[in-house]
Structure 1
Amino acid sequence: MATRRDLLKSASLLAASSAVSGFPSWAFAQSAGGPSTPPGKTLRIIGESLQSLDPIWTTAPPTKNYAFMIFDQLFAVDDKYVPQPQMAAGYTTEDNGMTYVITLRDGLLFHDGEPVRSADCIASIKRWSARDGFGRAVAAAVGEYQVVSDKVFKIKLAHNFPLLIDALGKSNSSQCFIMPERMATVDPTKQITESIGSGPYRFLREEWVPGSFNAFARFDKYVPRSEPPSGIAGGKIAGFERVAFTVIDDPSTAMSALMAGEQDYWPAPADDLLEVMKGDPSIVVSQRTTSNSYYMLQVNHLQPPFNNPGVRRALAMAINQVELISAIQPDPKLVLPCYSFYDCQSPYGIEDNAAVIKTADLKKAKEALAAAGYKGEKVVLLAVSSPPRLSGLNQVLDNVMRKLGMNVELQAMDFATMATRRTSKEPVEAGGWSGFITGWTGGDVANPAVNQLLHGAGEKGWFGWANDPKLEALKTSWFRSADPAERAVIAKQIQVQAFETLPYIPLGATSTYHAYRADLKGVFPAPVNAYWNISKGDKA
């Protein structure tokens, strides 16, 4: 078994490759039934700490990255965020749109060699729909699942739900990944421990060092779709024999490893190092996705002080988005305030009724905090040390809250620890928490369906557990509408209500970049970190 030191020092095999219809030439051997050896053996990625193997139990980014390596979806969004068949060969509708008939494509196998069956898909949909916000809307709409054959199943609706395929193919966490039935029948409130998917790579469990290293190997029996990649739809070609993720917390060390050729790809480089890397001809620095990255403060609605809506509003009034984002983004052109609960680049990204988060006035915020009856309750802020952006935002927010007069305790930790701590519903004295900063892409917050934080489902919803029945009723109306114009009106009503109750506090946005070795070919923009269809060329 290769050690981490071996992986960092190993030389990559370099050979030329060419692209045909979006695929490198060696890809066609894999499509024909058995992979040839592509240029380069190992794709080396600067990763984050992987602690959980269950993408339904947690939305932590390292788990999402792991999941997209080994699992697949029935449908997947293209570069226009339109869902396309992925594991599905296609679907039809019956009963005036009340029954969906989904057919699986040929050649689908799990990594243990078992075929993917309708029963696996149904069990996976059920488990996902018990945890995800969009999924809960699916569960409420479905009357019955029916197995027709191992490759065909039906979803019979109890009421109209025009967004079913969008739900099954959404790109943001939690995604509806298809797992073997034995895994998908595990209680969704408990973590699965197996790591068997049907995607282009399989997980090397024996090499996993939580917090330090994880690796994947090409799944030789994977049959990709024939279409070129688009978003996360289309063919997924495993361009390397191995993909290895090494955790390097210090940004300067990570940059040095990339520039020295010890690592190939850095998906989330520190913003203040981008200009240095742009000056190195062996490194490519480019925008990772077509959408921006949005940052939010998720507060705990179950415990003081943020169970008090007046306290939430006071804090929102104290935050200056421009000052906050400027602290992590040195380029003023990329400091992007967004006074909306939606992606400001999306059609829903309106800023109506946003006065509370546009205030940015510490004096007014202090007056509001006093009027709310804040009694000096401790505020525990879960502050991750990596990635650098979240670390920087936490430092600035801590300062703002102290100036506001709040009793703040900034608890520094790695992301994996935070992902576990945020599941606690206990008071802060018993290991609970008051708030944490999180980041999502524009596609993750584009509308009420995909925005996990924009809910009022209480303890059934995402961390923070905001309880707002009116907000939930509006979301139900949005889900059931088949008229885009009507949905736009309802989306605005949802935002108006959200500004009244503040399920979370929007903090602003900036662009997201990645950096990689110039000899990598086929890197493409996607709403997630996509490591398929990438190969190595012959020049650095």
Structure 2
Amino acid sequence: MVSITRRRLGVLTAAAVALGAAIGLNVQAAQAETVLRVIPHADLKNVDPIWTTAYITRNHGYMVYDTLFAMDENLEPQPQMVDTWEVSEDTLTWTFVLRDGLTWHDGTPVTAEDCVASLKRWGARDGMGQKLMDVVASLEATDDKTIVMTLSEPYGLVLESIGKISSNVPFMMPKRLAETDPFEQVPEIVGSGPFMFSQEEWVPGSKVVYLRNEAYQPREESPSAAAGGKLAEVDRVEWLYIPDQTTALNALLNGEVDYWENPPVDLVPILQQNSDIVVEVLDPLGNQGMLRMNHLHPPFDNEKIRQAVVAAVNQETYMQAAIGDPEYFNVCTSLYACGSPLETTAGADLLVNPNMETAKKLLEEGGYDGTPVIILQATDIPVLNAASLVTAQTLRDIGMEVELQAMDWATLTSRRAVQDPVADGGWNVFHTWWIGGDISNPVTHTGLSTGGTERAWFGWPDDPKLEELRDAFSKETDAAAQKALADEIHARALQVVTHANFGTWFNPVAYRSNVSGLIKSPVQFFWNVSKE
């Protein structure tokens, strides 16, 4: 680690030469207002958080949109835009009344009709939303502030669904935008949250600007994860995309930026040497890596070949390559978040006991014929870049032909939506990650959806039996029965191989010591953050 640190330090001066031009600083302008400058984990290319599950777009969504309910630090749903709510005795009718004073960024009032349209659009794309909408008999606005949801049968995850903390988050937007085809991006970003998106200052690949929403009326409760009062304590938040890690490091050390969302672990010792820098882990559950295969096209339209990949995944190898420091990673062979109530190894023999000979045997049983595997490689996110390299070598070691296609994460999040054959711009494998709050149960876990090309997430697995089990879980209210179903779902998911889990890690964040108010949460929020 020391030798890495010294080599890194040796190039900092050279990296500083072009830094000012790279991030477009204007010190005089900054003196007139409070500006929080953030290095995000990726470039913001797609701005519709219903259209994509990409975390950078989710984070953007939290800046500008608000939600009916929100998860607190215990992952319990709390009212956010909603003032009061009630449930009928038979649990079929849910009535929600909006808070007073809610307005969109264009100055128009937030109405129940807006929220109904927003829920319907979200419910068409999000896996958890789809399950909820399957039992929604009607969803309507009975007046300007009242939303009435009537179910066809009791459902155990209503508030957990409309208050889910991560992708896809059921963000509220004006009806005129919420009526956009859910498979197309909205043409305009208008929310009701604590910050406003500055469209004219957005420079894709470089800079995103958010302005304080002076009309926002926060809740009175103290902030708790995504719930509670959202106070915009700074005038502007600027996301400055700096893909070069050395340049990003230099920017934070020199005070050119205030916050770095995802510093590589091998740079942490350098950051910790500076008394003006704070390094800490804000997410208690961490992240789980996902190796996602495309079920539509060869070779991974074959279950045995997908199982071969799972058998070859050695999490220790992945985590050593991607993270390095054992302080920041765990080997976790549960598809649910380790440390969560449903953590299990049911049916996980291939994950628990990785074996290259087993993988080769399964590959042979699947009749692998040398079809090349196209891996989409996100070169600007170190963890995913490393995981792509490990997967490429692992697949070659078991006898597969592999081609890495390098691109930035923003491009990958568009490319992965392509269902066409590989020869026509499709793909076979990409890597991503999920926060623990996203994968705590079989319904919120988008990766376990097996609804095929119409309903499943990118990769499009299709397994009616698994969907039946997930439906049963969503309607079950007994905890013991839920746990049994969760185990059965887990085993089935690994049999059909919805994906492979390549390890769990905990991302530290780094920020200047004059920044305060950061919220401990699986998601990075920038309300309640002050800068002296």
Match of 1:129 in 2: 123
Amino acid at match of 1:391: N
CA-to-aligned-CA distance 1:362-406 (integer Å, 9 cap, x gap): 122112211210000110000101221111111111111111111
Aligned with residue 379 of structure 2, among 385, 392, 413: 385
Aligned with residue 41 of structure 1, among 31, 34, 38: 34
- Aligned-residue identity in percent: 39
CA spacing shift, 1:62–1:371, aligned 2, 3 Å = same
> Secondary structure of 1:62's match?
helix
> Secondary structure of 2:205's match?
coil
Match of 1:453 in 2: 447
Is residue 509 of structure 2 the alignment partner of residue 492 of structure 1?
no
Amino acid at match of 1:168: I
Amino acid at match of 1:514: V
* Structure 1: distance between partners of 2:23 and 2:321: 38
* Structure 1: distance between partners of 2:95 and 2:104: 22
Q: Is the 8 A contact 1:383 1:412 kept in 2?
A: yes
* Structure 2: distance between partners of 1:414 and 1:165: 36
* Runs of 4 or more consecutive aligned structure 1 residues displaced over 6 Å after TM superposition: 3-6, 11-14
Match of 2:93 in 1: 99
> Secondary structure of 1:327's match?
helix
> Secondary structure of 2:285's match?
coil
* Structure 2: distance between partners of 1:126 and 1:6: 39
Q: Is the 8 A contact 2:23 2:206 kept in 1?
A: no
Match of 2:214 in 1: 220
Is residue 272 of structure 2 the alignment partner of residue 273 of structure 1?
no
CA-to-aligned-CA distance 1:192-249 (integer Å, 9 cap, x gap): 1200000000000001111211101001000000011001100000011100011100
Alignment TM-score, normalising by the size of structure 2: 0.94
Match of 2:141 in 1: 147
Q: Is the 8 A contact 1:141 1:158 kept in 2?
A: yes
Aligned with residue 422 of structure 1, among 403, 416, 422: 416
Superposed displacement of residue 13, structure 1:
7.1
Written as runs of structure 1 = structure 2, the 5 A alignment for 1:471-510 is 471-510=466-505
Amino acid at match of 1:42: V
Q: Is the 8 A contact 2:285 2:338 kept in 1?
A: no
Q: Is the 8 A contact 1:53 1:193 kept in 2?
A: no
Aligned with residue 348 of structure 1, among 342, 345, 351: 342
Superposed displacement of residue 359, structure 1:
2.9
Superposed displacement of residue 427, structure 1:
1.2
Is residue 519 of structure 2 the alignment partner of residue 524 of structure 1?
yes
Is residue 388 of structure 2 the alignment partner of residue 371 of structure 1?
no
Is residue 418 of structure 2 the alignment partner of residue 401 of structure 1?
no
Q: Is the 8 A contact 1:55 1:175 kept in 2?
A: yes
Stretch of structure 1 that moved more, 271-280 or 40-49:
40-49
Superposed displacement of residue 5, structure 1:
6.4
Superposed displacement of residue 9, structure 1:
4.5
> Secondary structure of 1:146's match?
strand
Stretch of structure 1 that moved more, 331-340 or 439-448:
331-340
Superposed displacement of residue 11, structure 1:
6.5
CA spacing shift, 1:11–1:265, aligned 2, 3 Å = farther
Aligned with residue 465 of structure 2, among 467, 470, 490: 470
Written as runs of structure 1 = structure 2, the 5 A alignment for 1:108-127 is 108-127=102-121
* Structure 1: distance between partners of 2:110 and 2:124: 22
CA spacing shift, 1:4–1:192, aligned 2, 3 Å = farther
* Structure 2: distance between partners of 1:385 and 1:91: 46
Match of 2:405 in 1: 411
Superposed displacement of residue 44, structure 1:
0.2
Superposed displacement of residue 8, structure 1:
2.6
Superposed displacement of residue 484, structure 1:
1.9
CA spacing shift, 1:221–1:4, aligned 2, 3 Å = farther
Written as runs of structure 1 = structure 2, the 5 A alignment for 1:295-334 is 295-334=289-328
* Structure 1: distance between partners of 2:493 and 2:308: 15
Is residue 192 of structure 2 the alignment partner of residue 192 of structure 1?
no
> Secondary structure of 2:66's match?
coil
* Structure 1: distance between partners of 2:179 and 2:80: 23
Amino acid at match of 1:10: V
Match of 2:25 in 1: 8
Amino acid at match of 1:245: W
Superposed displacement of residue 7, structure 1:
5.0
Is residue 188 of structure 2 the alignment partner of residue 171 of structure 1?
no
* Structure 2: distance between partners of 1:5 and 1:456: 43
* Structure 1: distance between partners of 2:323 and 2:397: 22
Match of 1:20 in 2: none
Contiguous gaps of at least 5 residues in structure 1: 15-36
Amino acid at match of 2:138: E
CA spacing shift, 1:11–1:274, aligned 2, 3 Å = farther
Amino acid at match of 1:45: V
Is residue 254 of structure 2 the alignment partner of residue 260 of structure 1?
yes
Q: Is the 8 A contact 1:324 1:393 kept in 2?
A: yes
Superposed displacement of residue 95, structure 1:
4.8
Q: Is the 8 A contact 1:53 1:194 kept in 2?
A: no
Aligned with residue 78 of structure 2, among 66, 72, 84: 84
* Structure 2: distance between partners of 1:83 and 1:364: 44
Task: Tell me how many residue pairs correspond in the alignment.
Answer: 511
Q: Is the 8 A contact 2:294 2:460 kept in 1?
A: yes
CA-to-aligned-CA distance 1:498-535 (integer Å, 9 cap, x gap): 12111111111111110011100111211211000000
Match of 2:17 in 1: none
> Secondary structure of 1:249's match?
coil
> Secondary structure of 1:272's match?
helix
CA-to-aligned-CA distance 1:135-171 (integer Å, 9 cap, x gap): 0011101001232210112001111112111100001
* Structure 2: distance between partners of 1:507 and 1:454: 16
* Structure 1: distance between partners of 2:159 and 2:23: 44
Is residue 76 of structure 2 the alignment partner of residue 59 of structure 1?
no
RMSD: 1.5
Alignment TM-score, normalising by the size of structure 1: 0.92
Superposed displacement of residue 358, structure 1:
2.4
* Structure 2: distance between partners of 1:227 and 1:150: 25
Q: Is the 8 A contact 1:232 1:527 kept in 2?
A: no
